Chains A and B, each alone.
Chain A
Amino acid sequence: MSGRVLVGVKRVIDYAVKIRVKPDNTGVVTDGVKHSMNPFCEIAVEEAVKLKEKKLIKEVVAVSCGPQQAQETIRTALAMGADRGIHVEVAGKDYETLGPLQVSKILAALAKKEDAQLIILGKQAIDDDCNQTGQMTAALLDWPQGTFASEVSLEGDKVKVVREIDGGLETIKINTPAVVTADLRLNTPRYATLPNIMKAKKKKIANVKPADLGVDLTSRLEVLRVDEPPQRQAGMKGSTELSRRDS
């Protein structure tokens, strides 16, 4: 086994920012707005780095698809302990229509190219909430998937994943190579240490174009309109009598 783990990291609008819809309702305002790594991607990076620290895997490669600024997100992953990065350049109109289908095609192509043993992704991004990329990537590669992971352990050439599902916790064992998506309780991401932030400067980030990977970025979706949720109206005061359901 190559011992190589691919981790996808997405640059999204920071969770604390108040989102504003563009006046032309074509999307949300991103110019000048604070962006950071998707919180679930942070958890994915942390898990990969922990596996490396336990010496269960050999190399963590952080991947991000997007414009020039995506490199900042990769750099943060490097500061957390990833070994090298791959920046898949997608900009302009292509970036506006970039979605899980295209990204999973890119990740699948990279996984084959890099001979990855494991792909760890966040379960979903906090901007589009799609929750599709991990699943699509596994399907394209015909690999098993362990999604919504709250616990991951490598056991030989298999991965044991404890999944958070509606009914509780489900434990599965899947063969590698596999795709795992990280849920909230998988771990608590570390703060990058200052020496690691400095070392991240020296780690390599390779530039790749989607065309080099044979991926067509055409979207199958067209966004018609983006609106804010309806303003909250005042509530109604209900009866003050206690309801007696079980008398």
Chain B
Amino acid sequence: MAALFKARKALSLCLSGCRSLSQLAELPETHQILRQTCRDYADRELTPIAAKLDKEHAYPAKQIQELGAMGVMAMEVPEELGGAGMDYLAYTLAMEEISRGCASTGVIVTVNNSLYIGPILKYGTEEQKTQWITPFTTGEKVGCFALSEPGNGSDAGAASTIARQEGDEWVLNGTKAWITNSWDASATVVFATTDKKLKHKGISAFLIPMPHPGLSLGKKEDKLGIRASSTANIILEDCRIPLDNMLGPRGAGFKIAMQTLDSGRIGVASQALGIAQAALDCAADYAHKRTAFGAPIGKLQAIQFKLADMAMALESARLLTWKAALLKDAKKPFTKEAAMAKLAASEAATFCSHQAIQVLGGMGYVADMPAERHYRDARITEIYEGTSEIQRLVIAGQILKEYQP
């Protein structure tokens, strides 16, 4: 009897493992339809306007609403709260296809999904979820995530924004820097120190609506890429919020931030994949059409080697990203894989877009072709949500733990 039970358990474990592994080779049908739907949307609605959005630094409000209607702005959120109730692999696929059309739209989507909704979904009370998630599922409102400060980016534990309790309110003071979506957001998750003596264990997370008295925005940064998304400082000057606006337990802020970034990394990896794919598409198409030395340049080994290296970097990063997503969906530890995915994908994005410009030659340098925009969009993926250097530290930390004697 026991043997039968063991055999059945082993079989189901094997099947679930097999299912995950085979998903790397071929996606389930729903995910294929989802991927195709997002690709169709990106091809028809994002790619034609991406250059204009970039040139005008214009927030794609209409497209964000359409994506909201499709369920893309709140993919992991359960349907009862207004979301799409999908798994992280689905989110990864959607992010890649959307970013392939427009990287700026991609970052707006991922910040809303992973960085704003993510922590509230995990740590919020039921009332907080209803108040702070449901209105942000339709695309009409987007949120943002305020961790970095002018004085600390990678050094997140050194948060100098302070939150002190005054009666039945929290009063926040400080400045947050580099906040994506800031000028378009209706709410933010903010990290502030509640107990300075506890160092990084004294940081807590808060929810602030936007606009709000005591919260003001710095000037919109003039960025190299992802220009259709707004990036600015958030300045808190005696910003008062109810005690109920604390997210999660007091002092858990650093942990919340790190866990949120773990998941967010997979979103950014997917964005980087989309940019890399768009760059590869551009280069491969050009290789067929452009002739030099009497034949299409795709016949030249120099170009062929570039295309091969680009495709390989992209595909390896994609598999790492899917694996991280599958591990997260299976509720297994995924910190190392997420860091690897983000590192590989962002470096693939910069590599592919760099080589794409090279394949296009002079045409790669001008705005007539999208290669130069991919190059500019790709660069940030190695920096935000954990620089490549931090990713390496995270990976090394996990490996050393695994090999702990």
Contact = CB atoms under 8 A, between A and B. Distances in A.
B86 A191 contact: no
Interface string A97-114: 000000000000000000
Interface string B55-86: 00000000000100111100100010000111
Contacts of A193: 69-71, 84
A158 to B, nearest CB: 33
A145 interface: no
A195 interface: yes
Contacts of A192: 33, 37, 70
A72 B41 CA distance: 18
Contacts of A22: none
A215 interface: no
B33 A200 contact: yes
A61 interface: no
Contact of A200 (B30, B69, B79): B30
B247 interface: no
Nearest to A201: B30
A194 B69 contact: no
A194 B40 contact: no
Contacts of B66: 191
A197 interface: yes
A192 B69 CA distance: 10
Given A72-B29, A75-B29, A197 B37 contact: yes
Q: Give the secondary structure class of B's interface.
A: helix
Contact of A194 (B29, B36, B90): B90
B85 A197 contact: no
Contacts of A194: 34, 37, 70-72, 75, 84, 86, 90, 94
B86 A198 contact: yes
A198 B85 contact: yes
A201 B33 CA distance: 11
B266 to A, nearest CB: 17
A197 B79 contact: no
Contacts of A48: none
Most buried by B among A36, A76, A191, A195: A191
A197 B34 contact: yes
B319 to A, nearest CB: 21
Nearest to A71: B29
A79 interface: yes
Most buried by B among A36, A72, A193, A198: A198
A54 B41 CA distance: 25
B285 to A, nearest CB: 12
Contacts of B34: 194, 197
Nearest to B44: A191
A88 B73 CA distance: 37
A72 B69 contact: no
A79 to B, nearest CB: 6
Interface in A134-191: 191
A195 B87 CA distance: 11
A76 B36 CA distance: 10
A72 B72 CA distance: 22
Contacts of B72: 194
A191 B66 CA distance: 9
Contacts of B69: 193
Nearest to A16: B43
Nearest to B66: A191
Interface in A65-93: 72, 75-76, 79
Contacts of B36: 36
B37 A191 contact: yes
Nearest to B83: A195
A41 B287 CA distance: 35
Contacts of A36: 36
Most buried by A among B30, B66, B75: B30
A195 B37 contact: no
Interface in B376-397: none
A171 B200 CA distance: 73
Interface in B5-47: 29-30, 32-34, 36-37, 40-41
Interface string B85-100: 1100010001000000
Nearest to B75: A194
A79 B90 CA distance: 15
A171 B316 CA distance: 57
B43 to A, nearest CB: 8
A72 B33 contact: yes
A85 to B, nearest CB: 13
B71 A76 contact: no
Contact of A195 (B29, B33, B41, B85): B85
A192 B29 CA distance: 14
A81 to B, nearest CB: 13
Interface of A: 36, 72, 75-76, 79, 191-195, 197-198, 200-201
29 contacts: A36-B36, A72-B32, A72-B33, A75-B29, A76-B33, A79-B33, A191-B37, A191-B40, A191-B66, A191-B70, A192-B33, A193-B69, A193-B71, A194-B70, A194-B72, A194-B75, A194-B84, A194-B86, A194-B94, A195-B85, A197-B30, A197-B33, A198-B30, A198-B84, A198-B85, A198-B86, A200-B33, A201-B29, A201-B30
Given A194-B75, A197-B30, A197-B33, 12 more contacts: A72-B33, A75-B29, A191-B37, A192-B70, A193-B69, A193-B70, A194-B71, A194-B72, A195-B84, A195-B85, A198-B85, A201-B29
Which 5 A-B pairs give the minimum distances between C-beta atoms?
A194-B71, A194-B84, A193-B71, A193-B70, A197-B34
